[in-house]
Amino acid sequence: MNRVWMITGAGRGLGRAFAEEAVKNGDQVIATVRKLNEDDELMKRENVLPVIMDVTNKDEVKKAVQAGLQKFGRIDVLINNAGFGASGAFEEISDEELRTLMETNYFGVTNVMREVIPVMRKQRGGMILTVSSQAGAMGYLGSSAYCSSKYAVVGLSEALRMELAPFGIQVASILPGSFRTDFRDNSSMRYAKNPMPEYDGTAVHATSKFLAENNHKQEGDPVKAAAFLYSIIESGNLPIRILIGKKCCEDVRGFLGDRISEIDSYIEDSSQTDY
């Protein structure tokens, strides 16, 4: 059965790769973008509906969902992909910068979910996948703001997975490692506007420098990531967290193993705290 996908941030990066993979397999795609390239051949395909939409604009989100339903009649798979990165020490990130990040990376996700969930509930089925990050499973130097936004959508997805199961809706998080997209470009990565000299020479500023200087060199292939994700969706059974990339899987597995060891180190004493 051909599916109808709604993919936010479908113009580039992983969102673009996901859209191309769906189209290649004969599915239909509601492709939301903030700006439409009139020369983009993908967006001219009969089974693609390009929609101008900013995830932080609730009216645009509502109109995009309605346009998709009018064109295709249903939404089977939602990929919440739109978002951007942030680098800098916690002290360097202003309230304004943090709130702007959360408006897109977290509240943008909830805006789209609020419109799509009723559609899937009435259909008695569907899949909702939100692109988090490896930074949504483990903390990173100089990424406190970004990690908090990505951890937030993982927690949201895991709770929604239980809430929506009675309606036949599956929910999962996508946690990619480093992929060779434009994510580290200035269009997708934001650095602290007011860096503090106190952090000069520390690992925090070294991390920001590394991100800026090592763009389009990441080990991950977006096309292969999209094919992998499509195969999981095709299986009909979504894991609660979908890690993408060898290093990502190894790093997160090691991180979680350490956390289990920590719990084991104090579980007996902690268990004595019950009434």
* Residues identified as active-site: 132, 146, 150
Question: For residues 187 and 195, what is the distance between their CA atoms, to the nearest angstrom?
Answer: 19
Specify the 3-state DSSP secondary structure of 157. Answer: helix
Q: What is the CA radius of gyration of the chain?
A: 19
Q: Please, which residues have CB within 8 angstroms of residue 134's CB and are 6 or more apart in sequence?
A: 175, 176, 177, 178, 243, 245, 248, 251, 252
Q: Please, which residues have CB within 8 angstroms of residue 81's CB and are 6 or more apart in sequence?
A: 7, 8, 9, 10, 13, 14, 15, 18, 131
Q: Please, which residues have CB within 8 angstroms of residue 98's CB and are 6 or more apart in sequence?
A: 145
Number of H helices, E strands in the chain: 8, 9
